[in-house]
Amino acid sequence: MSYYFLLKMRETEPRIIFAAGIRLLASLMLLAADTANLRADDTPKTSCETISERILEIRTDDLSSLSQRQQSNIAYYLAEEARENRRIPTRLGIFNDKLLWNQPLNFSLIFPSGGCPHPHRCAGTAVLPDLDKIKLQRFSYRRNLVIAPNVQIATAPKQKNISASLVLLDKKEHSFLKFYDVYQVSAIDRDGKPHQSDYVRSEYSVIAPKRGASKENNYLACLQNVFNVRDVMPGSGAR
């Protein structure tokens, strides 16, 4: 390598570093602007939340502080645990739906271990009521869950809408489980537009991760404690 070439490299190196720094600064400014715009929008966004901050701890011998629906759900869960000869704990952690955009949930999420310590995998139970029965669905959790708002608007009678959704992992952590309530529009106002929704049942959907899908990658990062908590999902918008 010639002396002339080495001299030229030394002359251009600061310019290369400076240009790279400018590009990095511009990228950070664009990211900050996108985040600021996202936060300025007050519509609910899909977010990653810490489970421990959403848990309401209750005594299993006194459910009086809960709504009738939640009392029914938890009582059913405890009865099933007793029927399976499992030990009934004195306290349970359940998802506190009072903080969910002022939208009450009819299903219950139970986190027996509270905030599950990373990197351990803990088992929880979803209690999903229907009009004439209640179903239980096991799920896996660590420290976080995904909260996804519902932006669907019914435009005709008999059309079904779903509530905000809570996303966790299945027992083997192979798929996502999305829990939500189902409503049906049943009333029409004087302008011929539906305005009243009646609760029908609570359900869950299985979402299989897709290779390269950004939404599923964000979900997995949140649920496996990689993504920063108490923050909106990058580029998520409402889901």
In this prediction, residue 63 carries a pLDDT of 94
Q: Which residues contact 152 (CB under 8 A, 6 or more apart)?
A: 161, 162
In this prediction, residue 114 carries a pLDDT of 62
Lowest mean pLDDT among 77-81, 89-93, 200-204, 207-211: 207-211
Distance CA(225)–CA(32), nearest Å, equals 23
Q: Which residue carries 């502080």 as its tokens?
A: 65
Q: How far is CA 42 from CA 136, 214, 232, in A?
A: 34, 23, 12
The tokens describing 159, both together, are 């059309």
The tokens describing 97, both together, are 């739906």
Question: Could you tell me the residue ranges of all domains in the chain?
Answer: 44-227
Helix (H) or strand (E) holding 232: strand 231-232
For 40-53, write each residue's pLDDT tens digit.
Answer: 556 678 888 888 88
The tokens describing 118, both together, are 């990373």
Distance CA(193)–CA(174), nearest Å, equals 42
Q: Tell me which residue of 62, 55, 127 sits closest to 90, measured CA to CA.
A: 62
Q: What is the band of 192 on the pLDDT scale with cuts at 50, 70, 90? A: low
Average pLDDT on 102-125 reads 82
Average pLDDT on 111-121 reads 72
Neighbour-count burial of 157, counting CB atoms closer than 10 A to its CB (0-12 exposed, 13-18 middle, 19+ buried): middle
Distance CA(144)–CA(220), nearest Å, equals 10
pLDDT exceeds 80 at position 23:
no
In this prediction, residue 35 carries a pLDDT of 47
Q: What is the CA radius of gyration of the chain?
A: 24
Neighbour-count burial of 20, counting CB atoms closer than 10 A to its CB (0-12 exposed, 13-18 middle, 19+ buried): exposed
The tokens describing 150, both together, are 């519902």
In this prediction, residue 74 carries a pLDDT of 96
- With helix as H, strand as E and coil as C, how does 185-206 read? EEEECCCCCEEEEEEEEEEEEE
Q: Tell me which residue of 239, 195, 237 sits closest to 37, measured CA to CA.
A: 237
In this prediction, residue 237 carries a pLDDT of 45
